[in-house]
């Protein structure tokens, strides 16, 4: 069986071989730039690993895996414009290196490129894969829209938040696993189980990001701790705090959200203290464990010998326990 690192090696090698048009250069240079920034590349790796569950030769899954990675980075390029983000993976974002119009247009070209690459899948399943790809792309846009709408709401529930991150983050992870399984020749039931395994892992992944933004080590996490607090981002923690806080606690939290001028460290410290008093760290850990258990349950039902699924069990455990 292929290891996770081996799958990453295949992705690294082949992402460098993507064939870009030469003209106009300023349209395609930003695409090369964001892809060369690297990242975790979890999604394409999972595509290859899911295929490898059913066949040793994963060559047919390489192009679809790359398509998912290109599409993922397209979403990041446009997200950075909408969020006015300056840094991506430790480097200036595309719209900072070039400009917003270039980032939007290059992002559009990136989406088209992702479709072109996905169309290189085996002919007998390319229609099914493109349908999955389109469905997932639409869901991610829906999740982004919900995320934007939540910015102005103080009554977002935990259930609404989970649905938003399911659409914005988890469906792509599920679709990548289903893509690999489809190419590998899995039964329909197994495809569904691997998709649900990915959905639950995706939810864990996002809540863990919310968790690490508050309780992570900035050295290993690679980001400034408290960034979500400073921009009032609707995370698992803020959504629950707004639902659970009462009396003076609620007033204090709302004051922190509404104040335009503040000391960064003081705001992070005070909001984190509210989260701690509401025991939201424990609530998040419990929710992540519950979602992880659901993911493991789905994977255990996949009709394959347990040893074949070891790499996915290990990946799920590392995702739950990660500190970066």
Q: Which of 16, 24, 218 is nearest to 102 (CA)?
A: 24
- Taking only the tens place, the pLDDT of each residue in 106-139 is 999 999 999 999 999 999 999 999 999 999 999 9
CB atoms inside a 10 Å sphere around CB 176: 33
Residue 193 tokens read as 């189980």
As a 3-state breakdown, the chain gives helix, strand, coil percent values, each rounded to 5, of 75, 0, 25
- Taking only the tens place, the pLDDT of each residue in 145-163 is 999 999 999 999 999 999 9
Angle, CA 245 vertex, CA 240 and CA 248 arms, to 5°: 155
What is the per-residue pLDDT for 47?
98
**Cross-strand partners of 87:** 92
| C-alpha to C-alpha distance for 324 and 209, rounded to whole angstroms | 8
Q: Which of 68, 316, 76, 35 is nearest to 203 (CA)?
A: 316
pLDDT above 80 for 171: yes
| C-alpha to C-alpha distance for 254 and 245, rounded to whole angstroms | 10
Model-level pTM?
0.95
Do 99 and 60 contact (CB within 8 A), yes or no?
A: no
Sequential DSSP letters for 1-36: ---HHHHHHHHHHHHTT-----SSHHHHHHHHHHHH
Query: 223-239 b/e with 16+ CB inside 10 Å = b?
Result: eebbebbeeebbbbbbb
What is the per-residue pLDDT for 261?
86
Do 181 and 190 contact (CB within 8 A), yes or no?
A: yes
Of the pLDDT bands very low, low, confident and very high (cuts 50, 70, 90), residue 98 is very high
Dmax (CA) of the chain: 62
Q: Of 75-84, 110-119, 238-247, give the lowest mean pLDDT range.
A: 75-84
Of the pLDDT bands very low, low, confident and very high (cuts 50, 70, 90), residue 222 is low
How far from 128 is each of 82, 106, 302, CA to CA, in Å? 31, 27, 21
| C-alpha to C-alpha distance for 311 and 62, rounded to whole angstroms | 18
CB atoms inside a 10 Å sphere around CB 94: 28
Q: Which of 304, 298, 296, 297 is nearest to 186 (CA)?
A: 304
Do 55 and 184 contact (CB within 8 A), yes or no?
A: yes
Superfamily of domain 1-138: Farnesyl Diphosphate Synthase (1.10.600.10)
Identify the architecture of domain 187-324 in CATH. Answer: Orthogonal Bundle (1.10)
- Taking only the tens place, the pLDDT of each residue in 281-324 is 999 999 999 999 999 999 999 999 999 999 999 999 999 999 88
CB atoms inside a 10 Å sphere around CB 24: 8
Task: For strands 87-88 and 91-92, give the pairing.
Answer: antiparallel
Tokens 């998709």, residue located: 195
Residue 209 tokens read as 């990001």
Intra-chain end-to-end CA distance of the chain, in Å: 26
Tokens 């919310």, residue located: 210
Q: What is the mean pLDDT of residues 265-281?
A: 97
- Taking only the tens place, the pLDDT of each residue in 184-209 is 999 999 999 999 999 999 999 999 99
- Taking only the tens place, the pLDDT of each residue in 37-75 is 988 899 999 999 999 999 999 999 999 999 999 999 999
Per the prediction, the chain carries an average pLDDT of 95
Q: Which of 93, 81, 86 is nearest to 34 (CA)?
A: 93
CB atoms inside a 10 Å sphere around CB 169: 21
Return the domain boundaries, the chain: 1-138, 187-324
Q: How far is CA 28 from the centre of its chain?
A: 24
Same fold, 1-138 and 187-324: yes
pLDDT above 90 for 219: no
Do 36 and 166 contact (CB within 8 A), yes or no?
A: no
């Amino acid at each position: 069986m292929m290891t996770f690192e081996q799958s990453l090696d295949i992705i690294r090698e082949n992402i460098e071989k993507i064939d870009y048009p030469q003209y106009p250069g300023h349209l395609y240079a930003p695409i090369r730039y964001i892809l060369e920034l690297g990242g975790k590349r979890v999604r394409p790796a999972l595509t290859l690993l899911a295929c490898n569950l059913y066949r040793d030769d994963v060559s047919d899954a390489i192009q679809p895996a790359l398509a998912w990675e290109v599409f993922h980075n397209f979403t990041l390029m446009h997200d950075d414009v909408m969020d006015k983000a300056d840094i991506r993976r430790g480097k200036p974002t595309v719209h900072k290196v070039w400009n917003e119009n270039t980032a939007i247009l290059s992002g559009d070209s990136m989406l088209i490129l992702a479709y072109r690459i996905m169309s290189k899948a085996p002919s007998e399943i390319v229609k099914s894969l493109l349908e999955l790809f389109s469905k997932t792309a639409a869901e991610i846009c829906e999740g982004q829209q919900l995320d934007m709408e939540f910015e102005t709401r103080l009554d977002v529930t935990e259930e609404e938040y989970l649905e938003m991150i399911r659409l914005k983050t988890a469906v792509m992870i599920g679709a990548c696993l289903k893509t690999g399984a489809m190419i590998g020749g899995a039964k329909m039931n197994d495809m569904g189980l691997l998709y649900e395994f990915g959905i639950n892992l995706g939810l864990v992944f996002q809540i863990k990001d919310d968790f690490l933004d508050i309780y992570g080590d900035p050295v290993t996490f690679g980001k400034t701790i408290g960034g979500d607090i400073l921009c009032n981002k609707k995370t698992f923690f803020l959504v629950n705090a707004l639902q659970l806080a009462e009396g003076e606690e609620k007033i204090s939290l709302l004051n922190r959200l509404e104040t335009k001028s503040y000391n960064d460290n003081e705001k992070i410290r005070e909001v984190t203290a509210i989260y701690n008093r509401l025991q939201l760290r424990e609530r998040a850990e419990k929710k992540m464990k519950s979602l992880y258990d659901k993911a493991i349950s789905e994977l255990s039902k996949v009709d394959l010998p347990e040893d074949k699924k070891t790499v996915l069990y290990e990946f799920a455990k590392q995702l739950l326990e990660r500190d970066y």
